[in-house]
């Protein structure tokens, strides 16, 4: 514990010295989430991370999350320096939607409005009309559907399928998935619900349809944390990355949280339901990054770059969402 405390103290000091601000996602290491909160940064869902990074005055943002989050921050603030503890932290949705194939798919369907999930590369966002996150995708597609628009959706088939079902919109879906949420199992969840008949089920919409079907609340990470606080229940079954439990427990003390069952694992498995790329962010690599920030080599290994021409196109699709959310 003491090495952790020392590292945390050192990071706090370095953030001040380097005039950098830490923006963290709910799926990263609990210490990093606490640090972000305690140092005037933020810990939040992808929508709020984007907004916070854009609006903060700091010239250097440290994004503790995955690559697309760093890229979104860079696209929104090209003049800022965006650093990440590990640039190899990617996402199966981003990996499963290469820009060439995606562009060909869009070109085959020129009559459709292209809506992409935040979990994509800058180049994919540049080809899209709209970018959405899980907290607002449903509302945006509802809005487009009301205008009579037909949608091409990428890359998450589960989130796309859920939005399609809720809105009745005409949606053509790319077939990607999140390797963490894809593992949640409907049949086992149903059995678990029988064991805890009073438990409420909170589900992230990247989960398969038969899991979403059992949910009391479906929403982004922030939305399901809020639900845990607000709902009148003492036990919750949670179908999302288990990194979220840290904040949930702090925000709703005294309530009980159980991770939903995943393939081949018991409901209490500690190592399942956790994103391997989010897990690449740690106290040590964050401290090393801050410590060595003056060296060119260190910066090069941690700085997020987006081709300015691509960034210029991608910002339109991101700003549509941010303007809609405002
Ligand atoms: P939100 O935090 O926007 O719900 O996104 C979840 C996610 O997949 C991040 O990887
Ligand atoms: Fe991507 Fe899933 Fe990891 Fe989120 S949890 S970053 S969607 S692989």
Predicted local distance difference test score (pLDDT) of residue 264: 58
DSSP-assigned letters across all residues of 251-277: HSTT-EEEEPPBTT--TT-SSSS--TT
Cβ neighbors of 16 (< 8 A, separation 6 or more) are 39
Cβ neighbors of 246 (< 8 A, separation 6 or more) are 26, 30, 33
DSSP character at residue 295: S
More confident residue, 298 or 75: 75
Predicted local distance difference test score (pLDDT) of residue 97: 98
Asked whether 220 lines ligand 1 (CB < 6 A), one says yes
Domains in the chain, CATH or no CATH each: 2-90+278-306 (3.40.50.10800), 93-173 (3.40.50.10800), 181-259 (3.40.50.10800)
CA distance 176 to 171: 14
Instruction: Evaluate if residue 2 carries a pLDDT over 60.
Output: yes
Distance from Cα 207 to the centre of ligand 2, integer Å: 11
pLDDT grade for 298, boundaries at 50, 70 and 90:
confident
The stretch 300-317 carries a mean pLDDT of 96
pLDDT 10s digits, 189-233: 999 999 999 999 999 999 999 999 999 999 999 999 999 999 999
Distance from Cα 46 to the centre of ligand 1, integer Å: 6
Instruction: Evaluate if residue 34 carries a pLDDT over 90.
Output: yes
The stretch 167-180 carries a mean pLDDT of 97
In the predicted model, what is the mean pLDDT of the chain? 95
Asked whether 45 lines ligand 1 (CB < 6 A), one says yes
Predicted local distance difference test score (pLDDT) of residue 293: 86
Q: Is 19 left (phi over 0), alpha (psi -120 to 50) or beta?
A: left
Strands 130-132 and 113-117: parallel
């Amino acid at each position: 514990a003491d090495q952790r405390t020392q590292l945390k103290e050192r990071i706090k000091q370095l953030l001040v010295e380097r005039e950098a601000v830490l923006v963290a996602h709910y799926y990263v290491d609990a210490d990093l989430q606490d640090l972000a909160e305690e140092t005037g940064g933020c810990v939040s869902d992808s929508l709020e991370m984007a907004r916070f990074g854009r609006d903060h005055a700091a010239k250097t943002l440290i994004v503790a999350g995955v690559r697309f989050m760093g890229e979104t921050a860079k696209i929104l603030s090209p003049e800022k320096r965006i650093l990440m503890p590990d640039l190899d932290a990617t996402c199966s949705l981003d990996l499963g939607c290469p820009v060439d194939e995606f562009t060909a798919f869009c070109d085959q369907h020129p009559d459709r409005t292209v809506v992409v999930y935040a979990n994509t590369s800058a180049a994919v966002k540049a080809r899209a009309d709209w970018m959405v996150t899980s907290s607002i995708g449903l509302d945006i597609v509802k809005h487009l559907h009301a205008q009579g628009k037909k949608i091409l959706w990428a890359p998450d088939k589960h989130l796309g399928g859920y939005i399609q079902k809720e809105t009745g919109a005409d949606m053509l879906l790319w077939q990607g998935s999140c390797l963490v949420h894809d593992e949640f199992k409907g049949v086992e969840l149903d059995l678990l619900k029988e064991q805890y008949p009073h438990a409420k089920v909170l589900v992230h919409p990247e989960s398969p349809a038969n899991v979403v079907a059992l949910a009391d609340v479906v929403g982004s990470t922030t939305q399901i944390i809020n639900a845990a606080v607000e709902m009148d229940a003492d036990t919750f079954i949670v179908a999302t990355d288990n990194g979220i439990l840290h904040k949930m427990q702090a925000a709703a003390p005294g309530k009980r949280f159980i991770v939903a069952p995943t393939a081949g694992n018991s409901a209490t498995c500690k190592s399942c339901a956790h994103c391997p790329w989010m897990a690449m962010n740690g106290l040590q690599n964050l401290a090393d990054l801050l410590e060595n920030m003056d060296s060119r080599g260190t910066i090069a290994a941690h700085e997020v770059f987006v081709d300015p021409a691509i960034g210029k196109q991608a910002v339109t699709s991101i700003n549509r969402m941010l303007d809609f959310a405002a």
